[in-house]
Amino acid sequence: MIKVGIVGGTGYTGIELLRLLVLHPEVTVSVVTSRSDVGRRVDMLYPSMRGHMDQVFVTPDLDNLKACDVVFFATPNGIAMLLAEELLQLGIKVIDLSADFRIQDPVLWAKWYGQSHACPELISHAVYGLPEINRVLIQEASLVACPGCYPTATQLGFLPLLETGVVDSSSLIADVKSGVSGAGRVAQVTALMSETGESFSAYAVSGHRHLPEITQGLESVANQSVKLTFVPHLTPMVRGIHATLYARLVDESVDLQALFEKYYEEEVFVDVLAPDSYPKTSNVKGSNRCHLAVCRPQGGDQVVVLSVIDNLVKGAAGQAVQNMNLMLGLPEDQGLKLVGLYP
Q: Cα separation of 5 and 39, whole Å?
A: 16
131-139 vs 149-163: helix crossing angle, rounded to 10 = 100
Q: Give yes or no: 149 in active site.
A: yes
By CB under 8 A, the residues from 53 to 82 that bind a copy of itself are none
- Give the dihedral sign, CA 150/154/156/162: negative
What is the spatial distance between Cα 150 and Cα 131, in angstroms, rounded to a whole number?
Answer: 16
Near a copy of itself by CB under 8 A, which window of 64-72, 129-137, 142-150, 293-301?
293-301
Q: Which parts of 233-262 interact with a copy of itself (CB under 8 A)? A: 233, 235-240, 242, 244, 246, 248
Q: Which of residues 79-98 bind a copy of itself (CB under 8 A)?
A: none
- Contact assessment for residue 154 and residue 175, using Cβ atoms and an 8 Å cutoff: no
Q: Which lies closer to a copy of itself via its Cβ, residue 116 or residue 277?
A: 277
Stretch that binds a copy of itself, among 58-66, 70-78, 89-97, 203-211 (CB under 8 A): 203-211
Q: Does 292 contact a copy of itself by CB under 8 A?
A: no
> How far apart are CB 210 and a copy of itself at their closest, in Å?
13
Q: Is the dihedral of CA 201, 207, 212, 218 positive or negative?
A: positive
State yes or no: residue 283 binds a copy of itself (CB under 8 A): yes
**Active-site residue among 68, 146, 149, 290?**
149
Nearest to 6 by CA among 323, 317, 334: 317
Which string of x and - marks every residue 169-188 that binds a copy of itself (by CB under 8 A)? --x-x-x-x-xxx-x-xxxx
Alpha carbons 162 and 177: distance in angstroms, whole number? 22
Shortest approach of a copy of itself to residue 17 CB, angstroms?
11
Q: Which stretch binds a copy of itself (CB under 8 A): 43-51, 64-72, 96-104, 117-125?
A: 43-51
Is residue 70 within a helix (H) or strand (E), and if so which, with residue range?
strand 70-73
Query: Which active-site residues does the annotation give?
Result: 149
